[in-house]
Homo-oligomer: A and B are copies of this chain.
Amino acid sequence: MSSTSFTVIGGDLRSAKLANFIAMDGNKVNIFGFKDRDFEINLEEYDDLNCAIADSNAIIGPVPCVNDNQTLNAPFSKDAINFEDIFKLMNKNQIFIAGKITEKIQMCAKKYDVKFVDLLEREEMAVLNAIPTAEGAISIAMQHMPITLHHCNSLVLGFGRIGKILSKMLHGIGSNVFVEARKYHDIAWINSYGYNSVFINELPNYFEKMDVIFNTIPEMILGEKQLSKIRKDTLIVDLASKPGGVDLKKAKELDIKTIWALSLPGKVAPETSAKFIKDTIYNIMGEMEVER
C-alpha cells in the first residue's frame, strides 16, 4: 500500500489511532471530526468536509458508523456530521469504509452511487476481533476468580471464532479446557486440538465440576434449568451480544456471579483493534485494485 490517500471521519480513540497508523505506513491521511479532542494528532485537519474528502481514495467512517442512524458516531466533534453530506461529495472512484453500515445508510449510499464496504461484515475482521475479545474474557476471569485459570476446569460454550481462540489461549495458560459444540465435526476439531469436547446433550453432566464458564453463543443457553446445575462459586462470563446467553435475573437469584462483557476489543485493546481495522481496510483496497 503506497501513495494512497485516506480521510478518516469521526469515530472514537480507535479511529484516531487508525489515522496515525495509516499515516505511519507512508500514506496521506486527512482527518475530519476530531476538532474537540483533548489529545494531539499530527495530521492534516480540515474545517471543510469537501476539502477533507476531495483527494482521497478511501473515506473511513467510524466503527460503529452511526449512533442515532442519522449522524456519524463522532465523540470528538461537537458538530454533528451527517452521512448524507459525505455521500453527496464522494465520486465514483472513492470508497466509503466503516463498521455496521445500517440499511438506512446503505440506501443513502446507493442513492448517491457510492461504493461502500462494511468492516464488520468482513470475515477476517471478525476473526481478528476474536483475539482481543478472548484476552478480555481471560482478564475478566483472572480478576474475579479466587483460583488460577491454570489447572482449573474452564468450559467454553460454542466453537465459533471466539470459542476457537479463547480455547486456545486458555489451554495455553494451562487451564483444563472443555468446549461445548453441537456438530460432530466440531467435536472432532475440539478433540484434535487437545481440548475436552462436550456434546451439547451431555452439557448438564459437566456443569457441576466447572470453575468458570465462558459463553460465546448468541442465544439463551444458560436459562433457569441450566443455571440450577451450576455451582454458586462458578464464574460465568457471557460474551454473547444482545440479548445475551444467560438469564441474568435468575443467575442473580441463584447467587451465581455473572459478567456480561460486550464490545471488548475497543475497551481491552484499542490500539490492536485499530491495527486490525487498518489491515482489513488494506485488504479491501487490495481486492478493489485486483478487480479493476
**Could you say which of B123, B184, B269 contacts A124, with CB atoms under 8 Å apart?**
B184
Answer whether residue A220 sits at the interface, using C-beta atoms and an 8 A cutoff. Answer: no
Answer whether residue A102 sits at the interface, using C-beta atoms and an 8 A cutoff. Answer: no
Contact status A268-B185, CB under 8 Å: no
Contact status A272-B148, CB under 8 Å: yes
**Could you say which of B123, B192, B280 contacts A174, with CB atoms under 8 Å apart?**
B192
Residues of B within 8 A of A136 (CB): 142
Answer whether residue A75 sits at the interface, using C-beta atoms and an 8 A cutoff. Answer: no
Answer whether residue A200 sits at the interface, using C-beta atoms and an 8 A cutoff. Answer: no
Query: Closest Cβ of chain B: how far from A173's Cβ, in Å?
Result: 5
Contact status B169-A194, CB under 8 Å: no
Number of identical monomers bound together in the oligomeric complex = 4
**Could you say which of B127, B149, B188, B192 contacts A192, with CB atoms under 8 Å apart?**
B127
Bound CA span A185–B183, Å: 22
Bound CA span A138–B280, Å: 28
Query: Closest Cβ of chain B: how far from A134's Cβ, in Å?
Result: 8
Contact status A174-B172, CB under 8 Å: yes
**22 contacting pairs across A/B (C-beta < 8 A):** A122-B184, A123-B184, A124-B184, A124-B188, A125-B188, A131-B150, A131-B151, A132-B148, A132-B150, A135-B142, A135-B149, A139-B142, A139-B143, A143-B143, A146-B272, A147-B275, A150-B272, A151-B191, A151-B272, A165-B192, A169-B173, A184-B280
Interface residues of A (CB under 8 A from B): 122-128, 130-132, 135-136, 138-139, 142-143, 145-151, 165, 168-169, 171-174, 183-185, 187-189, 191-194, 268-272, 275, 280, 283
The 5 closest A-B CB pairs, nearest first, are A172-B172, A123-B185, A127-B188, A139-B142, A124-B188
Task: Apart from A139-B139, A148-B268, A150-B272, list 15 A-B contacts with CB within 8 A.
Answer: A122-B184, A123-B185, A123-B188, A124-B185, A131-B150, A131-B151, A131-B174, A142-B142, A143-B143, A145-B269, A147-B269, A147-B271, A147-B272, A148-B269, A174-B192
